[in-house]
Structure 1
Amino acid sequence: MNLLRKILFPFSLIYGVITAVRNYFYDKGWWESRTYDTPIICVGNLSTGGTGKSPMIEFLIDFLRKDFRIAVLSRGYKRKTTGFREVLVTSTAEEVGDEPLQFKQNFSDTTIAVCADRRTGIEQLEAKADVILLDDAFQHRKVKASTYILLTPFNDLYSNDYVLPMGNLREFRSGAQRADIVLVTKCPEGVSYAKMQEIEKSLQLTTNQKVYFSKIGYDDFIFGPSETLPLQYLQNKKFTLVTGIANPKPLIHFLKRNEFQFTHDKFPDHHHFSASEIAKLKKNEIILTTEKDYMRLQPKLGKFAIYYLPIKTIILREQEEFLKKTILEKIDEARFS
Structure 2
Amino acid sequence: MVLLRIILFPFAVLYGWITGLRNFLYDKGILKSASFDVPVIAVGNLSVGGTGKTPQVEYLIRLLSENHKVAVLSRGYKRKSSGFVLADPDSNAEILGDEPFQYHRKFPDIQVAVDADRKNGIARLLSLPVKPEVILLDDAYQHRRVTAGFYMLLTAYGDLYPDDFMLPTGHLREGRRGARRANIIVITKCPADISMDTMAAIRRKINPLAGQEVFFSSIDYSDYVLSENSRMMAEEAKALPKTLVAGIAKPGPFFAHLRNETDTLMTFPDHHDFTASDLAEIKRLSENKLIITTEKDYVRLTRKLGSARLYYLPIRTVILRDGDQFDKMINNYVGKSTANRQLH
TM-score, with structure 2 as normaliser: 0.94
Report 1:137-148 matches (<5 A). Answer: 137-148=140-151
Maintained 8 Å contact 2:69/2:132: yes
Maintained 8 Å contact 2:41/2:149: yes
Cα RMSD after superposing both structures: 1.4
Farther off after superposition, 5-14 or 45-54: 5-14
What is the match of residue 320 of structure 1?
A: 323
Maintained 8 Å contact 1:220/1:230: yes
What is the match of residue 8 of structure 2?
A: 8
Report 1:1-337 matches (<5 A). Answer: 2-126=2-126, 127=128, 128-256=131-259, 261-283=262-284, 284=286, 285-317=289-321, 319-337=322-340
Quick one: which amino acid aligns to residue 296 of structure 1? R
Farther off after superposition, 130-139 or 277-286: 277-286
* 2: CA distance, partners of 1:122 / 1:251: 34
Tell me by how many angstroms 1:89 deviates. 4.1
What are the superposed Cα offsets for residues 242-267 of structure 1, whole Å, 9 maximum, x if unpaired?
Answer: 011111122123235xx574221000
* 1: CA distance, partners of 2:254 / 2:280: 25
Maintained 8 Å contact 1:48/1:168: yes
Quick one: which amino acid aligns to residue 271 of structure 2? H
* 1: CA distance, partners of 2:78 / 2:30: 31
Tell me by how many angstroms 1:336 deviates. 4.2
Tell me by how many angstroms 1:286 deviates. 1.5
Maintained 8 Å contact 1:76/1:115: yes
User: Which of structure 1's runs of 4+ aligned residues deviate more than 6 A?
Assistant: none
* 2: CA distance, partners of 1:227 / 1:85: 31
* 1: CA distance, partners of 2:318 / 2:89: 26
- 3-state SS of the aligned residue for 1:282? helix
Maintained 8 Å contact 1:92/1:101: yes
Quick one: which amino acid aligns to residue 258 of structure 2? L
Q: Percent of aligned pairs with the same residue? A: 47
* 1: CA distance, partners of 2:15 / 2:310: 42
How many aligned residue pairs are there?
334
What are the superposed Cα offsets for residues 278-306 of structure 1, whole Å, 9 maximum, x if unpaired?
Answer: 11111212111001000111100024401
Farther off after superposition, 129-138 or 117-126: 117-126
* 2: CA distance, partners of 1:77 / 1:88: 18
- 3-state SS of the aligned residue for 1:187? coil
* 1: CA distance, partners of 2:97 / 2:261: 30
* 1: CA distance, partners of 2:175 / 2:188: 20
Maintained 8 Å contact 1:235/1:261: no
* 2: CA distance, partners of 1:139 / 1:25: 13
Unaligned stretches of 5+ residues in structure 1: none
Maintained 8 Å contact 2:157/2:188: yes
Tell me by how many angstroms 1:185 deviates. 0.3
Quick one: which amino acid aligns to residue 269 of structure 2? P
* 2: CA distance, partners of 1:308 / 1:261: 19
Tell me by how many angstroms 1:331 deviates. 1.9
Unaligned stretches of 5+ residues in structure 2: none
* 2: CA distance, partners of 1:69 / 1:139: 25
TM-score, with structure 1 as normaliser: 0.96
What are the superposed Cα offsets for residues 99-136 of structure 1, whole Å, 9 maximum, x if unpaired?
Answer: 11110111110100111110111011125200000000
